[in-house]
Amino acid sequence: MERMHMTTRIDLNVGWADYDGLGDKVRIGDRMVPHSIYVTLPGVDGQPRLTMTIDSSSGVPRCTDLRIESVEGGREVRTKDLRAVEVDNWIEAIVPLTMAQVVSDGPGGTNSVVRVPDSNSADFKAAKTTLSRARRIGRRKVNDDLYRRVAEVYKSEELRPAEAVRLAFGVADRTAFRYIADARKRGLL
């Protein structure tokens, strides 16, 4: 039997988010979230278009693809376009609009209820809290293994070791220096 698909679209202020309303869902706390959400900000008045994929297969919604491209007849992509990207804020604003609340769990499966997306509702606020909690838990674990990897990267770069740590782990300068200091405290450097 062929699997059915139903694209559900949520209108955003300057674009939309699409997901398969009948597709796989991932449980996050007391909520069910679509496996994948596809966000489109089409680019108005010659502004670049932005597309983003939010994947929840790991149990934590994450941006797995982000594209910014000029539209036909529009201007090029500029640094200010990159600075305007707020991935974390967008995830926390969009994903709760797609979540369904689990109302029962049993031998027949999980039953959930989908509410009309409304970012001012108590349900939206509860969904956002569930999402924030899951994202906090899913963040990088700062442990001995991380500090060993920091030490390896640091030692492998003679001229700019702190910069190498910052780039390797995708963190701010301040965080890179904190990782290095903590690795020294542990005797790894």
List the beta strands (DSSP E) in the chain.
Answer: 7-11, 16-20, 25-28, 31-34, 36-41, 49-55, 62-69, 100-106, 109-114
pLDDT tens track for 108-149: 666 666 665 666 777 777 777 877 777 766 566 677 888 898
Q: Mean pLDDT in the chain?
A: 84
pLDDT tens track for 5-40: 788 898 888 899 999 988 888 888 888 899 999 999
| Tokens read off for 75 | 């201007």
% of the chain beyond a pLDDT of 70: 86
Query: Which range among 8-17, 168-177, 180-189 shows the weakest confidence by mean pLDDT?
Result: 168-177
What is the per-residue pLDDT for 28? 84
Torsion of CA 15, 51, 167, 182, to 10 degrees: 50
Which run of H or E residues covers position 97?
A: helix 87-98
What is the per-residue pLDDT for 172? 82
What is the per-residue pLDDT for 173? 87
| Tokens read off for 11 | 């209108």
pLDDT tens track for 83-94: 999 998 899 889
Predicted TM-score (pTM) of this structure = 0.66
Query: Which range among 12-21, 22-31, 47-56, 61-70 shows the weakest confidence by mean pLDDT?
Result: 22-31
